[in-house]
Amino acid sequence: MDNIKKFRELVKKQKAYQYALTMVSWDSNTEAPRGAFERRAEMMGVISSELFKLSTGEEYQKVVNELFNIIDTLEDSLQREIKKAKKNLDKIVKVPEDEFVAYRKLVDLSQKIWEDAKEESNYNLFKGNLKSIIEFQKKFIEYYDIDDLPYNILLDEYEEGMTMDEYDLFFNTLRKDLVPFVQEVLKAKKTYKSDFTGDSFDVKKQEEFCQYITDEFAFDRSRGLMKTSVHPFTWNTHPGDVRFTTRYLKNMVLSSIFAAIHELGHATYEQQVDEKWNDTLLSGGTSMGIHESQSRFYENMIGRSRAFWETHLDKFKQVFPTELKGVSVEDAYRAANKVEASMIRVEADELTYPLHIMVRYELERLIFSSDIDIDDLPKLWNEKMEEYLNLTPQNDEEGILQDVHWSGGMFGYFPTYALGTAYSAQIYYTMKKELNIDEVIKNRDIQLINEWLKNKIHQFGSSKTPREIMLEVTKEEFNPKYYVRYLKEKYTDIYLTK
């Protein structure tokens, strides 16, 4: 059993380096002064390369391979760890080091080039880099020598076990059932109070309200904290230290609130993972999709519910007495669920959001399944936007250049956003059978929802696959019909009745 001991020791060492990197990253994204930049990059570089050596070194490879050879004799969770470790290692060791280094350099450089191209709204400035990144990825996939389609291999990196077949079924359902419904909603004329878009929402007061909400969601402040940053994110080293950020926009108070609740969802998931996984490869949320299902559950199913606004509008008005004078629960609920076709994914509402993802999924699928000319991507992008949302981007900035992901080589990531949101609907209908969610929200008992999610999902960390989670929680495989049903029920009520 020496190998098991050795494996534990090596994993713990990796965790320690990871811990240091995570804490420094948190600091650099929140409070570090500009002057810290260069020295920090140098020091982080040293730690990162040590971590890389540890996690790909001969000693680690040997232990993982030897344990893999006797995998059937190991207990379940160790089996899963070894399989994960082996899968990662097999990929890394097959890519020649010089090519991997060249790729890392290309990706680092591409961030800046993408930023410039976006600012100048000129796809031509970026397309060369994009092409090289894609070529590298295709080459790496060949090195992996896995018996599967190229895009499936990428999809699996972000959502274990997901394939094009399943995503096709998901997005085909959306195209068939959701697109016509969205078109109908977009045509319905509803007038709204514009009280929430004024630019008089003091950020200090917004923070006060978000702090109140954080407590209402029973976030454990002794094991976490909230700060501000340009882009909201959640950072964690272990369940005892989970930090998230939000940002406050003076002219978009609701957006500030929902960004905070969204991250709070990610953070609650991480806080409720069982500590017993701390020193294993099974700590933390199990996948991008399941993680997003939790953030979207808190954001949409709780934060954008009528019950939530019935319960918390009074406090909101207390914080903004003049700004919100005369605003009713119904006004707030409708403003929180306003539907509008828009160019920019990150600003999209709950109903049109998945269609933005569909555009990206279909393009990525083409890129990795055909010989598509990279020059044609903006045209294809625009055609799809027109088809799904009746909008044609006027330039590359509001079209194909809007997201950072591709410049970082993150192909296969986007679909998890829509998938996670769809998971959240399936989880919602399951929870509804056991909990009266509206009553729970009205009784200010969100702790009960936290506990439900902890018992069924959070505590397991990554010890279960996303598929196992969905199957065990909802008693069936992922099924997109729940998502369509949820959106139709909600938005028919808001937009298409009376």
Q: Taking CB positions, which residue lies at the least distance from Zn ion? A: 295
Q: Where are the alpha helices (DSSP H) in 372-434?
A: 377-389, 414-434
Phi first, then psi, for residue 228 (nearest 5°) are -110, 150
Rounded to the nearest whole angstrom, what is the least distance from the CB of residue 233 to Zn ion in the complex? 8
Pairing of β 241-246 and β 224-228: parallel
Q: Determine the Cα–Cα distance for residues 110 and 132; give it in Å rounded to an integer.
A: 10
CA torsion angle 326 332 333 334 (round to 10): 90
Token readout for 268 is: 């609650």
Q: Shortest approach of Zn ion to residue 273 CB, angstroms?
A: 17
The one catalytic residue among 81, 160, 166, 263: 263
DSSP 8-state symbol, 463: S
User: CA-to-CA distance for 254 and 273, rounded, in angstroms?
Assistant: 29
In the stretch 243-282, what mask flags binding to Zn ion with x, by CB under 5 A?
A: ----------------------------------------
Query: Which three-class secondary structure state does DSSP give residue 131?
Result: helix
- 280 versus 295: smaller Cβ distance to Zn ion: 295
Residue 35 has a CB neighbour count (10 Å cut-off) of: 8
The nearer residue to Zn ion, 238 or 262, going by C-beta atoms, is 262
**Smaller CB distance to Zn ion: residue 143 or 233?**
233
* Bridge partner residues of 234 (DSSP): 244
Q: Please confirm, yes or no, whether 451 is among the known catalytic residues.
A: no
Helix and strand element counts for the chain (H, E): 21, 3
Q: Which is nearer to Zn ion, 296 or 490 (CB)?
A: 296
Q: Nearer Cβ to Zn ion, position 77 or 295? A: 295
Whether residue 294 contacts residue 424, with contact meaning beta carbons closer than 8 Å, is answered with yes
| Cβ-based burial of 265 (10 A; exposed 0-12, middle 13-18, buried ≥19) | buried
Q: H or E segment at 242?
A: strand 241-246
Which two three-digit tokens encode residue 178?
Answer: 């959701």
Q: Which whole-number Å values give the CA distances from 350 to 87, 201, 338, in the listed order?
A: 35, 23, 9
Q: Tell me if 135 sits within 8 A of 368, measured CB to CB.
A: no
Return the residues of window 291-320 that contact Zn ion according to CB under 5 A. Answer: 295
Beta carbon of residue 357, minimum distance to Zn ion (angstroms, whole number): 13
Residues 463-482 touching Zn ion, rule: CB under 5 A, are none
Least gap, CB of 28 to Zn ion (angstroms) = 20
Q: How far apart are CA 349 and CA 345, in angstroms?
A: 9
Of 288 and 487, which has the nearer Cβ to Zn ion? 288
Size of interface with Zn ion, in residues (CB under 5 A): 1
Spell out, one character per residue from 276 to 295, where the chain touches Zn ion: x when CB under 5 A holds, - when not: -------------------x
If the CB atoms of residues 295 and 311 are measured against Zn ion, the closer one turns out to be 295
Contact 490, 182 (CB under 8 A): no
* Distance in Å, CB of 420 to Zn ion, minimum: 8
Indicate the residue among 232 and 480 with the shorter CB distance to Zn ion.
232
Identify the bridge partners of residue 228 per DSSP, sorted by sequence position: 246
Binding mask 13-52 for Zn ion (x = CB under 5 A): ----------------------------------------
Contact indicator for 206, 248 with CB cutoff of 8 Å: yes
Q: How far is the CB of 182 from Zn ion (least distance, A)?
A: 22
Q: Could you give phi then psi for residue 404, rounded to 5 degrees?
A: -80, -25
Minimum distance of Zn ion from residue 266's CB (angstroms): 6
Among 425, 422, 406, which Cα is nearest to 367's?
406
Q: Residue 25 to residues 28, 234, 282: CA-CA distances in angstroms?
A: 5, 11, 22
Site for Zn ion in 57-76 (CB under 5 A): none
Considering the complex, what minimum distance in angstroms separates the CB of residue 387 from Zn ion?
A: 27
Q: Specify the residue, 268 or 295, whose C-beta has the smaller distance to Zn ion.
A: 295
Nearest distance, CB of residue 171 and Zn ion, angstroms: 20
Q: Which residue has tokens 């923070």?
A: 207
The residue (of 295 and 300) whose beta carbon lies closer to Zn ion is: 295
Per-residue burial over 379-402, b = 16 or more CB atoms within 10 Å of its CB, e = otherwise = ebbbebbeebbebebeebbbbbbb
**421 sits near Zn ion (criterion: CB under 5 A):** no
> Which residues would be at the binding site for Zn ion (CB under 5 A)?
295
Q: Which residues are catalytic?
A: 263
